[in-house]
Amino acid sequence: MPYVLRHRHTGEIAAGTLRNVYDLDYYGAVWWETEEEAASDAASRPEWVPTQVTEAKLKVFNVKLNNDAGRKLFIDDNGTLRVEKGSAV
């Protein structure tokens, strides 16, 4: 199962520009195949923790982000998702 980074205080899911199988860029939840890979990337940012999610949940994250860098995705301790819309920089 994939791993994402979750902010330990706010619950924000780390997102950024990724590349799909068609070699097209999109804005979505950043993910890793293993916890070790996620932890390695999070090492310089101790407020972010690797969190295992299902592939289905990862797809929902990307639907919620809607390829829009102005959106931030949050997940609470109960698994409830919330999106904040702002302006992309």
pLDDT of residue 61: 98
The answer to whether 53 touches 1, Cβ cutoff 8 Å, is yes
pLDDT of residue 87: 66
Q: Tens-digit pLDDT profile for the chain (89 aa)? A: 999 999 999 999 999 999 999 999 999 999 999 999 999 999 999 999 999 999 999 999 999 999 999 999 999 999 999 999 976 55
pLDDT of residue 21: 92
Question: Which residues constitute the domain of residue 74?
Answer: 3-85
Q: What is the DSSP code string of 39-86?
A: HHHHTT-TTEEEEE--HHHHHHHHHHHTT-TTEEEEE-TT--EEEEE-
Query: How many structural domains is the chain composed of?
Result: 1
State how far the Cα of 50 lies from the Cα of 36, in Å rounded to an integer: 9
